[in-house]
Amino acid sequence: MTFYHQIWAQMPISAVIIDSQSIIIDVNASAEAFLNISRKVAVGQILWQWLSGENALHRSVDQFFTKRVPIKITEVLAHGRQTAESACTVHICELKIGLQSEPDDVALLLFIPMETTTGGMRGSDASSAAAYSAIGMSETLMHEIKNPLAGITGAAQFLSMSLTAEEKVMTDLIVLESKRIVTLLNQVEQFGDVTPPNSTRVNIHDVLDRSARSAAMANLSSVEIIKDYDPSLPEVWGDYDQLVQVFLNLIKNACEASDKKVKIIIKTFYDPNLKLPLSDLSGPKLPLHIQIIDHGLGIPKKIVQHIFDPFVSNKKNGKGLGLALVSKIVTQHKAHIGVASKPGFTEFRVSLPISPKPKRN
């Protein structure tokens, strides 16, 4: 067995080699388990008889053979015959193996389960529906609660004028708590605002700098923010103020994720190959990526599937509205947000569209 054969056999990542007709040329041991098929049987068979997955996977393989560019798709669901479905990152790339057939007609597919790479990436798309259904409810609540609250506050203030200092403590409490509820309702109101983004060309690094400044100021413990920006990044297409809301909430959460000294990394990069399985491949491209990384406690397992839903929080004074608002804004921008978290590492990644070229007169 050659050195390369040994690596191929022992690689803990499922690897499949196919030709342009999707005929399997080889599979490694990990792929045998993933597809639930022995190498002997697999070779010569059509991959799709043994592999089921989202349409994006088929389209990406077709696209690879048409365009001959490496493709990476994240969060794609795939499984073999009678095996459990899992979310994977799939890399499709060219492989020169010196076969008699055209070497360009051969593709290497790598299936990397998300939970072993980054702790499980999850997009916000599913929860945006939940977010929207909460909007109607919150608007009704707003009306029903805000008006009587103004009356209660006014009445308490009027009463306090004829009370002793000792008794005033009670009316002050009524006023204070009412104000707290109004603040909460205002936040919910902002969440229910469905005005579409007023998109313009935006320098994302300006947005990130502003968000980082505000988040760091609001956080009492000391925060070290490491900016790993790609200065050549083109402008994004989005609503400046809404994007500040997005990153302010993400950076605030990162600050709150640790009670020790906090170190947060904000990284920007360009990756045109990153395809989103949930969006149509012919849909808008999202090549600009922003990562917010912290090394705090990680997202508690029991809420990780619901963090983009409104009112989900594990914080003492948390309202659980930050990420719901983020999800809503990202959805309205036709952008994408993914999260990966395990104890000691949490990454939120926002992928945005590039701004269109200005029209020349």
User: For the chain, how big is the Rg over CA atoms in Å?
Assistant: 26
Is 16 a binding residue for ligand ATP by CB under 6 A? The answer is no
If one asks whether residue 312 binds ligand ATP (CB under 6 A), the answer comes out as yes
Q: Does 310 bind Mg ion (CB under 5 A)?
A: no
Minimum CB–partner distance for residue 259 and Mg ion (Å): 15
Residue type, 133: S
Residue 292 β-bridge partners: 266, 348
What is the x/- site pattern for ligand ATP, positions 255-274, by CB under 6 A?
Answer: --x-----------------
Give residues 106-165 in contact with ligand ATP (rule: CB under 6 A). Answer: none
**Site residue total, ligand ATP (CB under 6 A):** 23
At 7, the amino acid letter reads I
- Cα–Cα distances (Å) from 148 to 159, 184, 333, in that order, read 16, 15, 36
Which two structure tokens, joined as six digits, stand for 315? 């914080």
**Could you tell me how far CA 259 lies from the centroid of its own chain?**
24
User: At 258, phi and psi to the nearest 5?
Assistant: -145, 140
298 contacts which partner out of ligand ATP, Mg ion, none, CB within 5 to 8 A by kind? ligand ATP
Tokens 């010196």: give the residue: 98
Any contact of residue 238 with Mg ion (CB under 5 A)? no
Binding mask 207-246 for ligand ATP (x = CB under 6 A): ----------------------------------------
**DSSP-assigned letter for residue 323:** H
Residue 175 in contact with residue 214, Cβ under 8 Å?
no
CB of 130 to ligand ATP, least distance (A): 12
Output the six-digit token pair for 32. 């045998």
Amino acid identity of 330? Answer: V
Interface with ligand ATP, residue 335, by CB under 6 A: no
For Mg ion, the closer of residues 296 and 322 by Cβ is 322
- Stretch in the footprint of ligand ATP (CB under 6 A) among 117-125, 133-141, 207-215, 318-326: 318-326
Determine, following the binding rule CB under 6 A, whether residue 321 of this chain makes contact with ligand ATP.
Answer: yes
Residue type, 179: K
State in angstroms the smallest separation of the CB of 318 from Mg ion: 6
Assigned token pair, 16: 């499949």
Residue 344 neighbours by CB under 8 Å, 6+ apart: 295, 296, 297, 298
92 interface partner picked from Mg ion, ligand ATP, none, CB below 5 to 8 A per type: none
Pick one of ligand ATP, Mg ion, none as the site partner of residue 321 (Cβ within 5 to 8 A by kind): ligand ATP
Asked if 294 interacts with ligand ATP (CB under 6 A), we say: yes
- Whether 171 contacts 160, CB under 8 Å: yes
307 binds ligand ATP (CB under 6 A): yes
- What is the Cα–Cα distance from 48 to 55, expressed in whole angstroms? 11
Residue 40 class from Cβ within 10 Å (0-12 exposed, 13-18 middle, 19+ buried)? exposed
Site string for Mg ion, 268-307 (x = CB under 5 A): ----------------------------------------
Note whether 342 binds ligand ATP by CB under 6 A.
Answer: no
- Our CB check for ligand ATP shows the closer of 204 and 323 to be 323
| Binding flag, residue 322, Mg ion (CB under 5 A) | yes
Q: Which does 319 bind (CB under 5 to 8 A by kind): ligand ATP, Mg ion, none?
A: ligand ATP
Q: Each residue of 316-337: b (16+ CB within 10 Å) or e?
A: eeebbbbbbbbbbbbbbbbbbb
Residues that bind Mg ion (CB under 5 A): 253, 322
Residues that bind ligand ATP (CB under 6 A): 249, 253-254, 257, 294, 296, 298-300, 303, 307, 312-315, 318-324, 346
